Structure 1
Amino acid sequence: MTDHAHQYLASGPNFAEGEVIERIEVFRKRRPRLRDTVVTLAHGAGGKASAALIDAVFVEAFRNPYLESLGDGAEVTLPTGQRLAISTDSFVVQPLRFPGGSIGHLAVHGTVNDLAMAGAIPSWLTAAFVLEEGLPIEVLQGIVADMAAAAAAAGVDIVTGDTKVVPKGAADGMFITTAGVGLIPPDRKLTPQSVRPGDKVLVSGTIGDHGMAVMLARGDLAIEADIASDTAPVNRLVDALFAAAPDTRWLRDPTRGGVGTICNELAHDANVAVALDEQSLPVRTDVAGACEMLGIDPLYVANEGKVVAVVPPDQADAALAALQQHPLGRDAALIGDIAAQPAATVVVRTGFGGTRIVDKLVGDPLPRIC
């Protein structure tokens, strides 16, 4: 069925018609099933294997309305009526330092950005460390200094934490877990269900920078390229976006699995088609070259300082201008739009006039990049 679907979609622009599209919709709406008997690296990659594990193990055990939205954070309402966003994330990247950042930067930026994707104003973080016996104190101090600088730049405080030490060989230097809390302004409401056909899809800058920077920093690839991670806090960029496009429908930071994966999540959750324009996707030449050598589509490569936004068509120009005026959004681009059909599907319009399906990967070709 998948091969027929690809052929059908590549045949021309009328991909919203015909029996094949109905079969695609049924296929896309199926929930991934957990068939594995042991945990694999694919289960931590943000793709289909991750979704199956989360649904079958964690959602099944902890099921509640807050969790079932499966966003980057949970939204809870206080007795006062104020809305809070709460998020948590763990970081296991290797190496601990890479061009453009470190595990310390990621630990702050990742949670700050998850809160911002809920429309919240990030305010407070917690930090928990699992340290391997033998880790040099100087290394730990450097990473903690990175976290302090990142928190100051994002305007958040690290208010509590925890430290555990495990025997040598039981961890890989250090793992960090951060959690965060922020207030959601009353005029911000972001849900997949608010996305409508005709809405526009924007990205705040070049894609794939972080994943390729970390892979090259490991030194396992015979590729030389000056690629730095894009890790950065995007909360103030999001504030600028809301000021220009107050009716912004949906936000997500394309980390593990990249733009392709989060667009698939949107398409499934909103039951819409996300149509991307291949020629509009901003990819640095050196990143594109490295991806081509590795046989990886940049759409699936992780980012740590980018935002994908869906905005109403009448606010798209203002949104794009606001992003481009911010230092983190200089390379922002309008990359596609939302259509009604084929529902729960992501397609890319190629430069040759055809289309191709962008499915959700099972795993991640670049493990441990965050």
Structure 2
Amino acid sequence: MGHGGGGALSAELMAHLFAPAYGNETLAGLADSAALSLGGARLAFSTDSYVVRPLFFPGGSIGDLAVNGTVNDLAMSGARAAFLSCAFILEEGVGLPVVGRIAQAVGAAAAAAGVAVVTGDTKVVETGHGDGVYLNTSGIGLIPDGVDIRPQRARPGDVVIVSGPVGAHGVAVLSVREGLEFGADVVSDTAPLGGLVAAMLEVTRDVHVLRDPTRGGLATSLNEIAAASGTGVVLTERAVPVPDAVAAACGFLGLDPLYVANEGRLVAFVPPEHAEQTLAAMRAHPQGAGAAVIGACVADHPGMVVARTGLGGTRVVDLPLGEQLPRIC
């Protein structure tokens, strides 16, 4: 399970198994989506699979997740998503009303994100060889001229901005999976981020890095960016927005909210001369209303993320080995 968690074990799997088998320069970039040139156009292309349990959770379902996750991966290259594929892997015995409800969620989420599901596939596996419904979505979109967003472009001096409070998705899924209550409802943040990214690019097309902190949370995304760019990141722990209910749940369960998954948030590395305007544009958008500056990119401790704690000390924020909460996307 750890190999699917987006942490150090996943990175080892990619580095030592998949990358040598498929090796090419595009894949080596290890971005959320591949940036490709075809017929004079710059395209972003991404694929993802969804195995969340349960299929329905506060604020969404596997259907919303599959659309938003792929749309957001394309947006992290600055692309406007245009077309999606959607494949259903169904376990024998799952009720058709359940499948229909998920299909309706896929259609509604695609319409909300401004994309069309133009192709797909259906497979059925025997009872006991699946878990109701799994989905795979792939997407393609256009990257605007002058946009070059990738993890290798982080530079010392860049301002690190998160688009809103973190940790809600992972806690929302866990609460319904385990039947836990935390004194207040926690609702998944799943949402499409293409509009937010477009608003940011209207301020400047020189956004250096975008990442949606899904599996492994914010900490994993920052570590991946630091490693890819050969820079360090200094995080101000108290500046990271965490909802009270998420903080309470993490305290009760012994989790660190920096490592809890999100499905409607992004982290951006922006040149300092554009940071204030970019932050204002994010806060003016519904998906960025809670945006906050949480740190900076530095030349010190390359490849490492360090957090300044509320007590005035520092701690290293490591890449997790596996995942605190499996099957959350």
**Interval of TM-score (by shorter of Structure 1 and Structure 2):** over 0.9
Contact 1:126 1:160 survives alignment (8 Å) = yes
Aligned residues: CA RMSD: 1.0
- 1:166-185 superposed matches below 5 A: 166-185=125-144
Contact 1:245 1:311 survives alignment (8 Å) = no
| SS of the residue 1:364 aligns to | coil
1:52 is aligned to 2:8:
no
Q: Which residue of 2 aligns with 1:191?
A: 150
1:363 is aligned to 2:322:
yes
CA–CA distance in structure 1, aligned partners of residues 181 and 200 of structure 2: 40
The superposition leaves residues 42-78 of structure 1 with CA deviations (integer Å, 9 ceiling, x where unpaired) of 0000000111111211111111111111111111111
- 1:115-154 superposed matches below 5 A: 115-154=74-113
Q: CA deviation at 1:351?
A: 1.6
Q: Which residue of 1 aligns with 2:229?
A: 270
1:62 is aligned to 2:22:
yes
Match for residue 305 of structure 1 among 264, 267, 277:
264
Match for residue 330 of structure 1 among 289, 293, 298:
289
Identity %: 53
1:355 counterpart letter in structure 2? T
- Where do 5+ consecutive residues of structure 2 fail to align? none
1:207 is aligned to 2:166:
yes
CA–CA distance in structure 1, aligned partners of residues 39 and 104 of structure 2: 37
Q: CA deviation at 1:223?
A: 4.4
TM-score after normalising by structure 2:
0.98
Q: Which residue of 1 aligns with 2:189?
A: 230
Q: CA deviation at 1:222?
A: 6.2
Q: Which residue of 2 aligns with 1:8?
A: none
| SS of the residue 2:97 aligns to | helix
Q: CA deviation at 1:292?
A: 0.8
Contact 1:245 1:316 survives alignment (8 Å) = no
The superposition leaves residues 165-210 of structure 1 with CA deviations (integer Å, 9 ceiling, x where unpaired) of 1111110001000000001011211123322111100000000000
Contact 2:157 2:297 survives alignment (8 Å) = yes
CA–CA distance in structure 2, aligned partners of residues 152 and 192 of structure 1: 29
Contact 2:152 2:225 survives alignment (8 Å) = no
Q: Which residue of 1 aligns with 2:49?
A: 90
1:102 is aligned to 2:24:
no
Moved beyond 3 Å, runs of 4+: 220-225
The superposition leaves residues 222-265 of structure 1 with CA deviations (integer Å, 9 ceiling, x where unpaired) of 64541000000000010011112321100000000000001000
CA–CA distance in structure 2, aligned partners of residues 246 and 283 of structure 1: 29
CA–CA distance in structure 2, aligned partners of residues 65 and 202 of structure 1: 28
1:235 counterpart letter in structure 2? G
Contact 1:234 1:306 survives alignment (8 Å) = yes
Contact 2:148 2:208 survives alignment (8 Å) = yes
Higher-Rg structure is 1
Tell me the number of residue pairs that the alignment of Structure 1 and Structure 2 aligns: 329
Q: Which residue of 1 aligns with 2:176?
A: 217
1:250 is aligned to 2:201:
no
CA–CA distance in structure 2, aligned partners of residues 195 and 174 of structure 1: 38
- Where do 5+ consecutive residues of structure 1 fail to align? 1-40
2:239 counterpart letter in structure 1? S
CA–CA distance in structure 1, aligned partners of residues 208 and 31 of structure 2: 14
Contact 2:31 2:150 survives alignment (8 Å) = no
Q: CA deviation at 1:329?
A: 1.0
Judge which range, 87-96 or 240-249, deviates more.
240-249
| SS of the residue 1:83 aligns to | strand
CA–CA distance in structure 2, aligned partners of residues 112 and 141 of structure 1: 22
TM-score after normalising by structure 1:
0.87
Q: Which residue of 2 aligns with 1:315?
A: 274
1:43 is aligned to 2:19:
no
Q: CA deviation at 1:269?
A: 0.6
1:43 counterpart letter in structure 2? H
| SS of the residue 1:275 aligns to | strand
1:325 counterpart letter in structure 2? A
| SS of the residue 2:178 aligns to | coil
Contact 2:151 2:208 survives alignment (8 Å) = yes
CA–CA distance in structure 1, aligned partners of residues 64 and 150 of structure 2: 28
